[in-house]
Structure 1
């Protein structure tokens, strides 16, 4: 089994040498570790011509919910650079058995409030023509049921068995109106600055149901992990109103129990695999699946 990347304060010296030969950094560059990500190693590269970001992708086993594809991230940053809501890509490559991406550092702080702006951002993304060869995402309740069940198969506790019995029962058919989705638009991946919002961490895009992005942003567990608390009912309404796609919002409401059930399965899997902070997220997602009698 491949080991996770060490939590290095600076990139490996030979990687810096390689980047130097490409003219991306100099050998005396200063690095500042960024702690926002939960999978990869990310550093801010301080420079006179503007700060950059170096992301070194973890070569460990795949996450059951979020892919970790450096090539897709590079393609998305290149394709969407002209929109202004993604960082500008500078270069991408490979270091030993891991990949790296190098791009301009986006100013701003992780999103905390103003859910209407996020609704507008996702509407804009979902309206763009797709030129990215992204894999298909989950589409409809049958896909979500299969995905959640696969995640639960990797869980060991009795809660997993009980959660498997509590999957939603109302089917929702697939949509024919798929688009490119970000796949992980959580608060930590949305940076707020005076010029607007920047959407970062494009390692798991998909050609799928736009409801997936809505559900990921609205997820109580993800809001708790990245912002500190779930959205209020008023913030949810504000977000969905600003998205301004009534038919997609109505579809999301139908699929909401399925997304909550799959997210509960994922939180359980993470809690069982070295991330105890997901336990609170599990409880929050289960709350949306009442009546649940095992908590």
Structure 2
């Protein structure tokens, strides 16, 4: 869409959708823009709303396709289990873009501990209720490596791709087994955990899919993903604390065995994005380049163990 959604039009639209008694005292404030979405924060007495407008044209990403309906489907189920904020609205904006609104009680504190994060994602991984409408994503050592191979094949002229192929873990390192399939968040980090008046909640479900919970552990400890979210990579003792607090230690064991495949695939993704964005979005390309360096450094450390 070429037409930009104005704050005035958005506020008028929200007045028809949200159960706010008195609109005279509300405050709408734009938040930082991500690669795929614009955000606003709507402050009302006792309750906060976050408004998310999805940019079109991001549905074909090879690892993280942006699928607004998946976020709406996830929020509608997970909020009942105290895992996400409440879905307040999901509709087409006045300019035709997908618009999603979630709400939560105003928090007393904005601090979230690593142990609380581990407990939250562990409860999510143990959830038995199925969430409809989600894509199937690569699960386990072999499917993840094949996903990385496909991205590098799409940038055959890249000299960095040839170097990254030398770091590829071997298929034979892990025995091929039936893939694990459950809902995974796929971009889990401290930047996707929201402090609310009712406790920590998970946000940003547009990349979710049916895969292996190991991926969510990998995302939380990934230095490249942390940098893309504007966070500092975790130090070693914080990573250890997270793994100790994660409720399912069998999943932690598979993470220890298979993490290098996921980190290598994430490095391949960062390189793919770095190469394909270099001529159309130089700042984003540089950000992916820095994230690539972080993932490569981690792969080298894992090799040296």
Could you say which TM-score interval applies, normalised by the shorter chain? 0.7 to 0.9
Instruction: Quote the offset at 1:114 in angstroms.
Output: 3.0
Please give the secondary structure, in 2, of the residue aligned with 1:54.
strand
Matched, 1:51 2:48: yes
Q: How does 1:61-210 map to 2 (within 5 A)?
A: 61=58, 62-95=60-93, 96-105=95-104, 107=106, 114-133=113-132, 134-155=134-155, 156-169=157-170, 170-175=173-178, 177-192=180-195, 195-210=198-213
Which shows bigger deviation, 254-263 or 134-143? 134-143
**Distance (whole Å) between structure 1 residues aligned to residue 199 and residue 19 of structure 2:** 27
Which shows bigger deviation, 281-290 or 47-56? 47-56
Instruction: Quote the offset at 1:21 in angstroms.
Output: 3.8
Matched, 1:286 2:296: yes
Greater share of helix? 2
**Distance (whole Å) between structure 2 residues aligned to residue 138 and residue 167 of structure 1:** 16
Aligned match of 1:217 in 207, 215, 220?
A: 220
Instruction: Quote the offset at 1:64 in angstroms.
Output: 2.4
Q: Which runs of 5+ in 1 are unaligned?
A: none
Which shows bigger deviation, 264-273 or 224-233? 224-233
Does the 8 A contact of 1:148 with 1:261 survive in 2? yes
User: With structure 2 as the length reference, what TM-score do the two structures score?
Assistant: 0.82
Does the 8 A contact of 2:62 with 2:151 survive in 1? yes
Aligned match of 1:242 in 245, 267, 280?
A: 245
Q: Which runs of 5+ in 2 are unaligned?
A: none
Aligned length: 287
Does the 8 A contact of 1:139 with 1:209 survive in 2? yes
Instruction: Quote the offset at 1:213 in angstroms.
Output: 0.6
